[in-house]
Amino acid sequence: MVAGGGKIAAMSDIPAVFGDFKRAMFRCDAEALAHTVTDDFVWELHAGASPDEPAGRVLRGPDEMAAEFRRRKLEWSDVRYDDIEERMAGDDLIVQTFVVSGTDSRGERFCSHAVDLYPLRDGRVAAKRTYWKIDGPGPAH
């Protein structure tokens, strides 16, 4: 699911828990995610699944996060993450930018420039706040 390149800050600049978090996220491993996130972890997605969620759907905890990645792996194909850049903003925020592209469940191609903000608390990831600038039709949710 991850492709392309990008500039990633030196490993010593990004907390190790973030690497564990990303590996668990892409493996859809809720148990491993639970070791990397706070008890009140939320993922604020880039869009809602209905008009009742205009600011984006909110997932709570590692089980919901893993379920969303499993859904995407089933419904999206040819997914690429390119131009990945990660850096610390102060002591408690990781900023990640990237381009995500693929084919959604309707068979339509999508490409979006994205920003994820990861606040850290007590040595763990407290949230994943996702913002997408969609180039063309966006993926089916």
Asked if 80 and 4 count as a contact pair (C-beta separation under 8 A), the reply is yes
Q: Looking at residue 135, what is its pLDDT?
A: 72
Q: Looking at residue 134, what is its pLDDT?
A: 76
Check: pTM over 0.85? Answer yes or no. Answer: no
Rounded to whole angstroms, the Cα distance separating 48 from 9 reads: 31
Q: Which class does domain 11-134 fall in? A: alpha beta
Radius of gyration of the CA atoms of the chain, in A? 15
Using DSSP, state whether 15 is helix, strand or coil.
Answer: coil
**Local confidence pLDDT in tens for the 141 residues of the chain:** 445 455 544 445 799 999 999 999 999 999 999 999 999 999 998 876 666 655 678 999 999 999 999 999 999 999 999 999 999 999 999 999 999 999 988 999 999 999 999 999 999 999 999 998 877 655 655
